[in-house]
């Protein structure tokens, strides 16, 4: 493990989630952040997929490079409403249109659809972002042209649930391979629990003596790229039995500087600080970030 300065000692990094919720009220949601341009200026498009007792919904927001919200639309859960439609917004004197069609969408265990859908964001009749496999239908419906500054996928935040295994998928570089990420951590009845991380079934990281190394960071290689992995499993070991652990995978070469700046402030506010920091870092074209909030099921 690389040396990493922290007020918690050598190699220690505080990445604890400050939320007071438990796994019972933790919402099943995934937030994806895309970098684009609006009137030649960088902006961030935030797509949040969520699922609750009322059904599944979407939130779409456009932020400027300083993380100030320019416009936002919340598409309510559609348990009792239509699964297709559009919204017209304005941002920076520009027309922003959001179109979606999830009438035939198919889902896995999470709130993010897998296929049979499209979600499109259009700036002044230019398609800057289209998600899903129904691309032709999206262009026909929006009557838009492809943008010269199409959005780039730069960050993802996700809540995952499990008892011992926690999994997700991630693409660490634009147009790169999508990888299966599996985190394994069994702490029940063990005096010396161990944390393991696998990429596509291959063991890439293992942390033994976890009670002494409940916070830390380590570098792995994915697609030949260095990826910094940060973890904080304090809640699992010493906190609330329903508390969550936090994991971050960061391809940014300046990740160490970003985390060093976080450790100089109030570390209890890490999730908010980190969310702001990685978005600012990603907006400058520094790589991809994945943050996982891992909740243990009862």
pLDDT of residue 63: 93
pLDDT of residue 44: 94
Query: Whole-angstrom Cα distance, residue 18 to residue 270?
Result: 7
Q: What is the DSSP string of 111-148?
A: SSEEES-EEEEEETTEEEEEEES-HHHHHHHHT-EE-T
Least confident of 29-43, 79-93, 282-296: 282-296
Pick from 252, 296, 240: nearest CA to 278? 252
pLDDT tens column, 248-264: 999 855 444 444 444 43
Pick from 277, 276, 264, 269: nearest CA to 18? 269
Q: Do 44 and 66 contact (CB within 8 A), yes or no?
A: no
Residue 154 has pLDDT above 50, yes or no: yes
Mean pLDDT of the chain: 79
Query: Whole-angstrom Cα distance, residue 74 to residue 252?
Result: 30
Query: Whole-angstrom Cα distance, residue 55 to residue 116?
Result: 18
pLDDT band at residue 241, thresholds of 50, 70 and 90?
Answer: low
pLDDT band at residue 197, thresholds of 50, 70 and 90?
Answer: very high
pLDDT of residue 298: 66
Query: Whole-angstrom Cα distance, residue 153 to residue 172?
Result: 9
SS (H, E, C) 275-291: HHHHHHHHHCCCCCEEE
Instruction: Give the residue-averaged pLDDT of 152-160.
Output: 91
Instruction: Give the residue-averaged pLDDT of 175-190.
Output: 84
CA distances from 235 to 20, 22, 96, 214 (A): 11, 11, 42, 9
Quote the Cα angle for 70-72-77, to 5°.
170
pLDDT of residue 80: 56
Q: Do 200 and 182 contact (CB within 8 A), yes or no?
A: no
pLDDT band at residue 189, thresholds of 50, 70 and 90?
Answer: low
Which ranges constitute the DSSP H helices of 175-241?
A: 234-237
Query: Whole-angstrom Cα distance, residue 277 to residue 284?
Result: 11
Residue 269 has pLDDT above 50, yes or no: no
Residue 7 has pLDDT above 50, yes or no: no
pLDDT of residue 91: 86
Q: Do 199 and 185 contact (CB within 8 A), yes or no?
A: no
pLDDT of residue 83: 84
Of residues 163 and 284, more confidently modeled: 163
pLDDT of residue 113: 92
Residue 278 has pLDDT above 50, yes or no: no
What's phi and psi for 39, nearest 5 deg? 55, 35
| pTM over 0.85, yes/no | no
Instruction: Give the residue-averaged pLDDT of 157-164.
Output: 91
Q: Do 101 and 117 contact (CB within 8 A), yes or no?
A: yes
pLDDT of residue 39: 82
What's phi and psi for 81, nearest 5 deg? -140, 175
pLDDT of residue 81: 64
Q: Do 98 and 60 contact (CB within 8 A), yes or no?
A: yes
Q: Do 43 and 64 contact (CB within 8 A), yes or no?
A: yes
Of residues 115 and 22, more confidently modeled: 115
């Amino acid at each position: 493990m690389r040396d990493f300065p922290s007020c918690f000692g050598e190699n220690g990094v505080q990445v604890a989630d400050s939320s007071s919720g438990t796994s019972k009220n933790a919402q099943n949601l995934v937030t994806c952040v895309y970098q684009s341009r609006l009137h030649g200026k960088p902006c961030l498009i935030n797509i949040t997929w969520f699922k609750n007792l009322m059904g599944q919904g979407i939130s779409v927001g456009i932020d400027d490079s300083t993380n100030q919200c320019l416009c936002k639309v919340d598409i309510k859960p559609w348990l009792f409403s239509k699964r297709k439609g559009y919204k017209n917004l304005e941002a920076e004197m520009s027309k922003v249109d959001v179109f979606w069609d999830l009438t035939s969408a198919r889902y896995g265990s999470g709130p993010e659809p897998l296929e049979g859908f499209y979600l499109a964001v259009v700036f002044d009749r230019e398609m800057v972002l289209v998600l899903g496999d129904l691309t032709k239908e999206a262009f026909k419906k929006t009557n838009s042209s492809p943008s010269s500054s199409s959005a780039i996928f730069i960050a993802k935040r996700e809540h995952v649930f499990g008892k011992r295994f926690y999994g997700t998928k991630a693409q660490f570089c634009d147009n790169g391979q999508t990888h299966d990420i599996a985190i394994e951590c069994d702490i029940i009845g063990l005096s010396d629990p161990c944390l393991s991380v696998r990429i596509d079934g291959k063991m890439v990281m293992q942390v033994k003596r976890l009670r002494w190394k409940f916070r830390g960071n380590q570098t792995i290689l994915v697609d030949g790229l260095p990826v910094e992995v940060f973890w904080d499993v304090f809640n699992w070991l010493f906190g609330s039995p329903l508390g969550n652990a936090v994991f971050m995978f960061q391809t940014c070469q300046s990740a160490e500087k970003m985390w060093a700046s976080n450790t100089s402030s109030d570390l209890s506010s890490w999730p908010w600080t980190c969310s702001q920091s990685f978005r600012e870092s990603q907006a400058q074209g520094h790589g991809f970030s994945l943050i996982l909030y891992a909740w243990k099921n009862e």
